[in-house]
Structure 1
Amino acid sequence: MSTREILTLQFGHYSNYVGAHFWNIQELSFDYTGTVKAECNHDILYREGQTSTGEVTYTPRLLLADLKGSLNTLPSSGGLEESQVEEDLPWNTVEKIEEPAASKNEFLKDINDDISSNIKEKQYNLEQDVKTWTDYLYPRFHSRTVNVIKEYQHGDENESFDYSCSGRSLWKSDFGETFSDKIRKYVEECDSIQGFHINFDCTDGFSGLALGCIEYLTDEYTKSILAYPIVASHFADNNMSTEDEREKSTLRDSIRLVNMALSIEELSQHATMFVPLCTGEKGWRKPGNPRVFDYINYKPEQYYHSSSILASAIDTLSQKYRHKSNFHTMSDVCADMTGYGRKMAAASLGMPFAINESEYLIDHLNTTTKPLYTSITPSCKIATDKIFQLITVRGIPESYLKAPLKEAKEQMNLAAYRCSNVKEMFELYFQANNFLSATNVTVCEKPLELKTPFPNIFSDNLNEYGFVKTENQPQKVESCPVIAGYHNGNFMADMIEKLHRDVSRIKFAKLHKFKEQGLEEADYKESLDKLAEFKDNYEDDFEL
C-alpha cells in the first residue's frame, strides 16, 4: 500500500507554537523498542533521509516560515549538528542566516546532552523559560525546513509584518521562489502525495504569504489543501491602560479583522477545506474569553499553553487519515465535509473526555447533560441539528464500555447496551442527539500522550490516564482520552455574517497601509462581496 504522504506548511509565529507542540506529540510517541503496536503511519508526515556521513535521519516533511529573531537557539539549518546535515541539491546552498547566539534553557540542554531519562522524570520551569516556540521544541528538522523572513524583525514595532499585502509581496519575491522550489523537492520525493496541511496566522502578514502559497499549490498541484487559519489566544495590545494605547489597539484590531476577512474569502476560492481555529470565544476585535475545558486550567496570554490545546485538536482530527487501519484519505475527509460549496467547517475539542475512572461509558453518555466537546472555531456555536460531522474519539478502553452481563442491572434496559464496541456506542449517541444529521465516528485505542514538554495545565482531579479520580491522591497526568470533531451545516452562516458585518464597518479610507501596499478599494469591496456570497452556500437546504 502506498504511503499517501502529506506535506505540512506552517506560516507565522503562533502557528509555529502550535506546530512545535504538534511535532512534539508525534516524536514523543515514537517507539524505538519495537514492542508497542503503532496505530499511526508516521511515514505520512515524516520522511527518511541520509546525512553526508551515511547516518539515517527521520524528520518531519515540513516547511515553516517565521521572522528574523524568532528562532532563539534553533539554527536556520534545522537543528541537526553540522556533520549530520543532509546532503541536498545545489539550491540548498542559498544564503545562510545566522541567528544571534542565545542561551538554552534546561530542557533544551538535556535534549542536547541526550538525557532522555531525565526529561521524563525532571520538573522543568517552562512556563517561565519559554520565550518563543523553539524553547520547547523536541525534534530537529531537515535542513530545508526552516525559512527565515529576513526583511522583518520579530517584535519590531516600527517595521511590523502586520498586513496581508506585505505577505503577498513577499511571496512574489525571491522568498516565494525559493519556498516553492523546496515544495517541489519534497513532492518529488513522495510516492503518492495526498495533499497539503497548511497552518497559518490569519491576522497578520503571514496570511498574505500563506494565501500566495495556497494559490500557487492550487495552480501547480491537483492535490487536497486542508488549511487551518489560526487566531492567537491573546495579543500584546489587548491590555490597554491609556487612551493612546486604546486607539492603537483599535487600529490593530481593525487590521487583524481585515486580514482575517480577506483570508476567509480567498480560502473559499482556493482551499479544498479550511477550518478556522482559536481558543478565544470571539476570535476577532479581541480573542475574547478563553474557551472553557473541564479539568484544564490554561492561561491564554501564554502561547505555550493555548497552542498545546490547538495542537492536540489537530493531532486528534488527523487520526482519521493517518491511522494504519483506516483507508480514508485527506481528500475523502475534505469531500465528505464540503458539500454544497461549504468549504469552511468548524472544529471542536473535548479534552480530556471527562469520564470518571469508575464509570462506564454507557452510563456517562446516558446521564451527561453537558456537550461532549467545545467549539474551537472563533465566533461559532456548533449546532446540534441538521449537521454533518466527523468525530474522532481516542483513549477510551473497551473495558470502559459497559458492565458485564451479570452486573449490568439497569444498563440492560438501555438500547446502548446492545453496542459491542466504543464506535457503535458513540454512533448511537449522536444518532439520538443530533436531529437530521450524519455522523461518522473514528475510534483510536491510544490516548493523547502528554509527555514533557507538554504544559502542566490539567486539574489535580484527574488520574494519570486523564480520567476523573474517585480518590484525592495527587497523580501526574501522563495521557488523556480526547474527542474532537469537524462540523458543517447552515450554522456556519452566522460566523460569516458576523465577520462580514464587522469588517464592513471599517472605512477603506482608514486602511492607509493596505492601500500603500497595493490593495485597491475596488478589489477590497469585491472581496467583501465575495465573502457575502460565500455565506449563501450555508443557506438551509433541508426540507422537513
Structure 2
Amino acid sequence: MREIITLQLGQQSNYVATHFWNTQESYFTYGADEESPVDHDVHFRPGLGADGTETYMPRTVIYDLKGGFGTLRQLNALYDTKDDASAASLWSGQTAIHRQQPIEASAYQQSLDTGQTPPELTTSAVRYWSDFNRVFFHPRSIIQLNEYELNSSLMPFEKWHMGEELFASLDKDHDLVDRDLRPFVEEADQMQGIQVMTGLDDAWGGFAAKYMERLRDEYGKTPLWVFGVQEPVRGLPREKKMLKLVNKARALAELNSQASLIVPLSLPESPLPSSIRLDPSSPWHVSALFAAAIESTTLYTRLKTTDRLYSSNLGNMTDLLNVFGKQTIANIEMSSVGKPKSQQNGANGGGLALNGRGEHISSAYDDVPEDGSETGSQKGMLSLDVDLSSPQDLSLDPGRRRGRKRHVFSQVQTYRGPEDPEDKRKEDENSREAGYGMRRRTKVHDYRSTVPFPIIDSYPKIFRDVRRSTTDADDEDDDKPPREFLPMRTALSTDTSVMNKVKALRTAVVRSIGLEDRETVGNELAEIAEGYREGWDSGSDEDDD
C-alpha cells in the first residue's frame, strides 16, 4: 500500500506539517461521482474511535515541548472518554489535582467545532500550529515532552547537546522508537519510507540525530527522508546566529550517515519575487512556503498507481538523486506559475530575474545565458525563482572563488497544474531531437500532474497569483465556494553548490565547536563536501562532463 510514516520533531516542523496535513485533508472527496487522484492510504490510517466510529487519521508521531500544542488535546472528539484516567489510580487516598489555566481556542478552531464558516486567519490570530489545524490525530500521535517549556527564557531548548541528552534520557526509560513509532509501522502493509520533519538549527537537530540512529538500526534499508527546517535569522544577535549555524553544521554532519536524503529548508535572505508576499516573522507564513515546496515535491509518492508514468516512491526518488551514493543533501527550489513567463522576470522588469544563488531564473528546457554571473545551469535544468536551500550560506566564506557554474548531478523536476501548451511544445521538440541521435539527458527526471496546489482557508494569502476553479464557479447548483488553486513547479537537485555551502559552513563554525567534537565534525563536513566533487572535472568550466 506504499505507506509513509511521518515523524514531526519540534515547533518549527509542526507548523510545516500542519499545513501538509491540511492539504492532504483537502484532497478527500465525498461525492459518488468524485474520485481523488491521491491514494489516501499512503498517509492516513483507518481505525475505530472510542464509540466504534470509523476514523481515518494521519500516520504520524508528533513531538513538541510543554506548551507547544496550544489547544490541541491528546484526546479529541473521536477518542474522548468520560472516564478520567486518574480514577484508575491504585492510590486509595485523597488526591489533589492542580490544573493550569487552559488556553482559549482560537476563533478558527471554534468555528470548525461548531460547523460554521471559519473566519479569515491572520498572523496575530495564529499563536500555535494547532490554531489552524484541520485534522484529528490519534492519541498515540501526540507526545508532549515536559522536560522543557516552549519559549522559556530560563532554559531555552536551543543548544545541540540539549536535544541529544533529552533523547538519551527518554529513550533509556521508554525506548521511543518501540513505544511511539513501531505501532504505526506494524500497521503498514508495505511501508515505502519514513519522512522526518525537524528543526535543523536548534536543539531538535540533536534530538533528530539520535532518533535517526535508532531508526537506521531498526529499519536498515528503509528510505529515511529528512526535511530540516530553519528559522529566519535576520535581526538576530551575532551569537544567536552563530549558535544556529553550529547546530546546523552538527546536524548535517550527524544526519548525513543515517538519512537517505536530507533537504534543508531556509527562507532566503534575498528578496522574494513580487508574486510572493509573506511576513518573515510569522511561523505560519514561513512554514506555508516550506510546506508548498515539500507537498508539491512529494506529491508523486502518493498519487494513485493508475497514473504509473508519474507515480513514484521515496526509494526511487532517492536513487535518482543520489547518483554516486555519497550525495544525501539535496537543494530544493520552487516557483508559483501564476503569470505568463514574460511577467515573472523580476519586479523591476529589466532582464531576467535572479534567484538566491545569483542564477538567472529559467523555465524548463531553456538554456541559461552565460554572462559572468556567479552560476549558470546545464541544459534542461531548472533554476526557479525561490531557492529554499540556504543560498545565503555561500556568503559565509568571503574567500570563496566566484563565477563558476554549479554542476548538477541529478535533478527531479515537478510541475503540477493545468497543462501548459508552451511546455508541451518544448517537450515534444526535445523528444524529436532525441530521436535524431541527440543524447537523452537522463540526469533530468520530469514529473507532471494536473493536480494543482490547493489554497484552503487555513493557508495564508502569501501568493498573489491564485486562480479559481472555473468548474466550481460555473456550477450554480453547487453551494460550495469556488475552489482556489495554484500551479507550481519545484526542483529537487544534487549539485556542486552543496559542496560550496558545506565548505563555507565548516569555515564559519569550526572554531566555535567544542574541542572534543571539533575534529570529528570538521572531518565529516569535509567528507560531505568531497562527495559533491566526484564524477566531474572540478577544473573545468564546461557545462557537460
Distance apart, 1:229 and its partner CA: 1.3
- Cα distance in 2 for partners of 1:384, 1:416 equals 27
- Distance in 2 (CA, whole Å) between partners of 1:426 and 1:230 is 38
Q: Which residue of 2 aligns with 1:376?
A: 388
1:230 counterpart letter in structure 2: V
Match in the other structure for 2:485: 479
- The answer as to whether partners of 1:76 and 1:98 remain within 8 angstroms in 2 is no
Matched, 1:10 2:22: no
Match of 1:314 in 2: 294
Whether 2:163 is the aligned partner of 1:163: answer no
Aligned pairs for 1:219-238 within 5 A: 219-222=217-220, 223-234=222-233, 238=234
In structure 2, distance between residues paired with 1:537 and 1:393: 29
Number of residue-to-residue matches in the alignment: 465
TM value normalised by structure 2 = 0.77
Q: Is the 8 A contact 2:466 2:484 kept in 1?
A: no
Is residue 256 from structure 1 mapped to residue 244 from structure 2 by the alignment? yes
After superposition, what is the alpha-carbon deviation per residue over 1:453-495, rounded to whole angstroms, capped at 9, x for unaligned? Answer: 1101222x654369xxxxxxxx998111000121012232111
Q: State the distance in 2 between where 1:328 and 1:252 align.
A: 40
Q: Residue 82 of structure 1: SS of its match in structure 2? A: coil
CA distance in 2, matches of 1:108, 1:416: 43
8 Å contact from structure 1 (residues 77, 146) kept in 2: no
Q: Work out the CA distance in 1 between the residues paired with 2:181 and 2:59.
A: 10
AA at the equivalent of 1:133: W
Q: Deviations over 1:260-301 (max 9, x none)?
A: 10100111111111111112x2xxxxxx345x1341111111
Q: Is the 8 A contact 1:385 1:435 kept in 2?
A: no
Distance 1:365 1:328, change over 3 A: closer
Q: Answer 1 or 2: which has greater helix percent.
A: 1
Distance in 2 (alpha carbons) for counterparts of 1:376 and 1:60: 26
Mapped contact 2:407–2:496 kept (Cα < 8 A): no
Is the alpha carbon distance of 1:112 and 1:426 closer, same or farther for their aligned partners in structure 2, counting shifts above 3 Å?
farther
427 and 162 in structure 1: CA distance in 2 versus 1, 3 angstrom threshold: farther
**Partner SS for 1:128:** coil
209 and 77 in structure 1: CA distance in 2 versus 1, 3 angstrom threshold: farther
Equivalent in the alignment of 1:344: 329
Closer, same or farther: CA 109–500 of 1 in aligned 2, 3 Å? same
Mean CA deviation greater in 374-383 or 168-177: 374-383
Q: TM-score, normalised by structure 1?
A: 0.78
Partner residue, 1:528: 522
The whole-number CA distance in structure 1 between the counterparts of 2:213 and 2:98 is 27
In the alignment, which residue of structure 2 is the partner of 1:56?
A: 54
- Matched residue SS, 1:295: coil
* Per-residue deviation, 1:338: 1.1
Cα distance in 1 for partners of 2:108, 2:410 equals 43
Other-structure match for 2:416:
394
Conserved? CA contact 1:312–1:448, under 8 Å: yes
What are structure 1's unaligned runs of at least 5 residues?
91-95, 241-248, 282-287, 403-414, 467-474, 509-520
1:38 to partner: Cα distance: 1.7
Structure 1 458/98 Cα, relative in aligned 2: closer, same or farther at 3 Å?
Answer: farther
Shift of 1:10: 0.8
Inter-CA distance 448–425: structure 2 relative to 1 (3 Å threshold) = farther
Equivalent pair of 1:198/1:227 in contact (CA under 8 Å): yes
3-state SS of paired residue (2:33): coil
Return the alpha-carbon distance in structure 1 between the equivalents of residues 141 and 20 of structure 2: 15
> Could you tell me which residue of structure 2 aligns to residue 139 of structure 1?
135
TM-aligned CA distance change 1:507 to 1:464, over 3 Å? same
Render the CA deviation track for 1:210-242: whole Å, top value 9, x for unaligned: 1111100100113110111110235xxx546xx
* Residue of structure 1 in register with 2:502 after alignment: 496
Q: How does 1:359-438 map to 2 (within 5 A)?
A: 371-379=383-391, 385-397=407-419, 400-401=420-421, 417=425, 419=427, 438=443
Alignment partner of 2:316: what SS? Answer: helix
Distance 1:8 1:128 in 2: 28
Q: CA deviation at 1:356?
A: 7.2
Contact 2:337-2:487 within 8 A present in 1 as well: yes
The alpha-carbon deviation at position 250 of structure 1 amounts to: 2.3
Change (3 A) 1:69 1:448: same
For 1:354, the aligned partner's letter is K
Q: Secondary structure of 1:538's match?
A: coil
Gapped regions of structure 2 (runs ≥ 5): 89-96, 345-361, 369-381, 395-403, 471-480, 538-544
